[in-house]
């Protein structure tokens, strides 16, 4: 992991931090001396991630939560606890997300909106509730996890690219709106990254796609975390509204 001195002591909120890309981000921020509140969808996954983070040694710099991301009340309660403990929120990583592979002929409204609710609505809600704290400090960084499908789309599961195009739109719109408040808003667009999300997809399809990656390998969660750390740090002080492809050259 790269080291960014400007991340030392910063308070970071990371959704979807229990595994995959989010977990690598948690580890990266901890390794940079930040204080990390990570979110998962269930208490048991939060507890098992806490064990991995060696809670005893790091108990002053890590908190785990599992708020319902559709509940403003639960998110506010969580943020109150974070503020009571660490004073504020400096950096938000909107990483929680679900993929999809359904054919258009199999969709119903409910399924489509479930994907949008977690990938778009939850990111907007967390941003809306964290941005005022950053504005008060005159400085903040928000990084959204988009996807290469936000550029390239895919042949099924159209709710997923639809949601990630929306994430890009939200990133660019809020970068324009929040720049005057000292808040930078960027996104990373991962390619094919070896996480549970990709393990759930058809192996033959993944192999065929991997053969076309210029850097000749699938990505690792740490590749994405490195880009997130950079965008969150002062090394990216003049970058906002960017959708940074981290995909081995596949699409971006």
Stretch that binds ligand NAD, among 15-23, 85-93, 100-108, 176-184 (CB under 6 A): 15-23
Taking CB under 6 A as the criterion, the residue among 56, 84, 109, 196 binding ligand NAD is 196
Distance in Å, CB of 98 to ligand NAD, minimum: 5
Q: Is 244 in the site for ligand NAD (CB under 6 A)?
A: no
Query: Counting beta carbons within 10 angstroms of the beta carbon of residue 28, is it exposed (0 to 12), middle (13 to 18) or buried (19 or more)?
Result: buried
Q: Is 192 in the site for ligand NAD (CB under 6 A)?
A: yes
Asked if 164 contacts 210 with a C-beta cutoff of 8 angstroms, the reply is no
Token pair of 86, please?
A: 């660490």
Taking CB under 6 A as the criterion, the residue among 7, 11, 13, 16 binding ligand NAD is 16
Taking CB under 6 A as the criterion, the residue among 11, 27, 35, 40 binding ligand NAD is 40
Q: Which residues pair with 62 in a beta bridge?
A: 36
CA dihedral for 243, 158, 123, 20, sign (positive or negative): negative
Q: Is 96 in the site for ligand NAD (CB under 6 A)?
A: yes
Token pair of 30, please?
A: 């901890």
For the segment 134-153, give every residue that binds ligand NAD (CB under 6 A).
145, 147
Question: Secondary structure of 153-201 in the HEC alphabet?
Answer: CCCCCCHHHHHHHHHHHHHHHHHHHHHHHCEEEEEEEECCECCHHHHCC
Cβ-based nearer residue to ligand NAD, 101 or 198 = 198
8-state DSSP, 141: E
Taking CB under 6 A as the criterion, the residue among 129, 153, 197, 205 binding ligand NAD is 197
Distance in Å, CB of 55 to ligand NAD, minimum: 18
Cβ-based nearer residue to ligand NAD, 41 or 48 = 41
Stretch that binds ligand NAD, among 6-14, 93-101, 176-184, 208-216 (CB under 6 A): 93-101
Q: One of 105, 107, 160, 238 is an active-site residue; which one?
A: 160
For the segment 115-134, give every residue that binds ligand NAD (CB under 6 A).
118
Residue 252, CA distances (Å) to 20, 148, 151 in order = 21, 7, 8
For residue 160, indicate whether it is catalytic: yes
Q: Is 69 in the site for ligand NAD (CB under 6 A)?
A: yes
Query: Counting beta carbons within 10 angstroms of the beta carbon of residue 13, is it exposed (0 to 12), middle (13 to 18) or buried (19 or more)?
Result: buried
Name residues whose C-beta falls within 8 Å of residue 4's C-beta, 6 or more positions apart in sequence. 32, 229, 230, 232, 233, 234, 235
CA atoms within a 13 Å half-sphere pointing along the CA-CB vector of 129: 23
Per-position x/- string for 223-242, each x denoting binding to ligand NAD as judged by CB under 6 A, each - no binding: --------------------
Token pair of 93, please?
A: 């990583």
Note the residues at the interface with ligand NAD (CB under 6 A). 16, 18-22, 40-41, 69, 95-99, 118, 145, 147, 190, 192-193, 195-198
Catalytic residues: 160
């Amino acid at each position: 992991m790269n080291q960014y001195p400007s991340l030392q002591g910063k308070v970071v909120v990371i959704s979807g931090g229990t595994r995959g890309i989010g977990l690598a981000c948690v580890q990266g921020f901890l390794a940079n001396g930040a204080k990390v509140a990570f979110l998962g969808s269930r208490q048991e996954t939060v507890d098992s991630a806490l064990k991995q983070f060696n809670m005893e040694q790091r108990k002053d710099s890590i908190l785990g939560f599992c708020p319902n991301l559709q509940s403003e009340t639960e998110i506010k309660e969580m943020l109150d606890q974070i503020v009571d403990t660490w004073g504020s929120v400096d950096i938000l990583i909107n990483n929680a997300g679900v993929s999809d592979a359904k054919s258009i002929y199999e969709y119903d409204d409910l399924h489509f909106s479930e994907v949008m609710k977690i990938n778009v609505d939850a990111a907007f809600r967390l941003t809306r509730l964290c941005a005022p704290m950053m504005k008060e400090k005159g400085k903040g960084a928000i990084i959204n996890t988009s996807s290469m499908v936000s550029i390239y789309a895919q042949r099924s599961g159209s709710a997923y690219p639809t949601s990630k195009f929306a994430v890009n739109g939200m990133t660019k719109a809020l970068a324009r709106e929040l720049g005057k408040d000292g808040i930078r808003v960027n996104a990373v667009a991962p390619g094919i990254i070896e996480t549970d999300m990709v393990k759930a997809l058809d192996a033959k399809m993944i192999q065929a796609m991997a053969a076309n990656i210029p850097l000749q390998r699938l990505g690792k969660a740490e590749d994405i975390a490195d880009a997130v750390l950079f965008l969150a740090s002062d090394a990216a002080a003049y970058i906002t509204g960017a959708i940074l492809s981290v995909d081995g050259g596949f699409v971006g």
